[in-house]
């Protein structure tokens, strides 16, 4: 092959790859696996490789647990005000309006009456997509009214908690008092001899965990859920000690007696239904 007379430049033809449409794949934050969204939906948003449970919206939770067409939402008209005229990087009223438009929710929870395999119950679900599921006046009031409704109608109560925001700082003391109000309502429900099952999902933290979420007659958690009051990083910085492996995960808390059972999402409806059968007295409808 001649060494001289060879072209000084090499021409490379670039072939443009076909663009892959956005929104078809999701990366698992736990194992890093790339999951086809259609398959993820079919698996109830659970990673097949590592069993990581993705966040579900309140609407998705209701569809998962309640018989089709059997959920009657209550108190949907309640809206938060701005009692402190709170102004941070963004005004509270503006933040609420944006969250309502983005999520389609009036606030960070949905409550209502429904049927699970034909059995009547009251279901409440907090939604971490709306200001991290934090509990302001509206969330506390909706939960309290739902609990009181369950007590009046002698119905079992299920609350699915997915709240990493705790009490909503934009409402100050009015937000903190919801912890006592919801806990008192749970106590009145219990005094009627009625069943309350608390379901903890990722994350369930702060004022939510320090109030109604920890008061269930039976406390169930999804796998690998973060559950606690203050996050592990803050605790380590405060006590200046390394925390145990898996600290504040549902597995760790099951081993230490804070929760009763870990249940995978695909088994949750069946498990809740069985618990209602075992732990409630049959009454005439």
Q: What is the DSSP letter of 171?
A: G
Is residue 34 domain-shared with residue 175, that is, in the same domain?
Answer: no
What's the sign of the alpha-carbon dihedral 111, 117, 118, 120?
Answer: negative
Within-domain flag for 141? yes
Within-domain flag for 1? no
**pLDDT confidence of residue 4:** 53
Within-domain flag for 16? no
Is residue 194 domain-shared with residue 265, that is, in the same domain?
Answer: yes
Task: Specify whether the CB–CB gap between 194 and 157 falls below 8 A.
Answer: yes
If 0-12 CB within 10 Å is exposed, 13-18 middle and 19+ buried, where does residue 163 land? Answer: buried
**pLDDT confidence of residue 144:** 96
Is residue 29 domain-shared with residue 66, that is, in the same domain?
Answer: no
Task: List Cβ<8 Å contacts ≥24 apart for 9-14.
Answer: none
Domain count, the chain: 2
**pLDDT confidence of residue 6:** 55
Q: Which secondary-structure segment (H or E) carries 25?
A: strand 25-27
Boundary-marking domain end, from 54, 71, 99:
54
Separation between Cα atoms, residue 175 and residue 181, nearest integer Å: 10
- pLDDT tens track of the chain, all 285 residues? 555 555 555 555 554 545 556 678 888 888 888 888 888 888 888 888 888 888 888 899 999 999 999 999 998 888 888 878 777 778 888 888 888 889 888 888 999 999 999 999 999 999 888 888 888 889 999 999 999 999 999 999 999 998 777 788 888 888 889 899 999 999 999 999 999 999 999 888 888 888 898 999 999 999 988 887 777 777 767 777 776 676 778 888 898 888 899 999 999 999 999 999 999 865 434
Is residue 258 domain-shared with residue 175, that is, in the same domain?
Answer: yes
Is residue 253 domain-shared with residue 120, that is, in the same domain?
Answer: yes
Separation between Cα atoms, residue 48 and residue 266, nearest integer Å: 12
What's the sign of the alpha-carbon dihedral 279, 162, 112, 151?
Answer: positive
**pLDDT confidence of residue 84:** 80
Within-domain flag for 42? yes
Is residue 39 domain-shared with residue 175, that is, in the same domain?
Answer: no
Is residue 45 domain-shared with residue 95, that is, in the same domain?
Answer: no
Residue 36 domain boundaries: 22-54
């Amino acid at each position: 092959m001649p060494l001289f007379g060879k072209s000084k430049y090499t021409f490379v033809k670039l072939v443009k790859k076909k663009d892959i449409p956005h929104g078809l794949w999701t990366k698992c934050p736990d194992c890093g696996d790339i999951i086809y969204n259609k398959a993820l939906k079919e698996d109830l948003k659970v990673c097949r490789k590592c069993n990581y449970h993705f966040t579900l919206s309140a609407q998705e939770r209701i569809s998962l647990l309640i018989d089709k067409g059997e959920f009657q939402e209550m108190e949907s008209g309640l809206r938060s005000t701005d009692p402190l005229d709170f102004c941070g990087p963004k005004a509270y009223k503006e933040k609420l309006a944006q969250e309502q438009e983005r999520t389609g929710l009036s606030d960070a929870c949905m409550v209502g009456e429904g049927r699970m395999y034909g059995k009547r119950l009251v279901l409440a679900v907090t939604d971490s997509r709306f200001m991290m599921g934090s509990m302001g006046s509206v969330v506390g009031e909706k939960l309290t009214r739902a609990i009181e409704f369950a007590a009046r109608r002698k119905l079992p109560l299920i609350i699915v908690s997915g709240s990493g925001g705790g009490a909503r700082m934009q409402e100050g003391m009015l937000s903190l008092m919801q912890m006592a109000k919801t806990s008192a309502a749970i106590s009145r429900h219990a005094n009627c001899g009625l069943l309350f099952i608390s379901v903890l999902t990722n994350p369930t933290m702060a004022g939510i965990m320090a109030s109604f979420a920890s008061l269930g007659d039976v406390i169930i958690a999804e796998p690998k859920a973060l559950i606690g009051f203050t996050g592990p990083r803050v605790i380590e910085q405060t006590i200046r000690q390394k925390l145990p492996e898996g600290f504040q995960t549902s597995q760790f808390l099951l081993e230490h007696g804070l929760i009763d059972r870990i249940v995978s999402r695909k088994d949750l409806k069946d498990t809740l239904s069985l618990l209602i059968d075992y732990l409630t007295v049959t009454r005439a409808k």
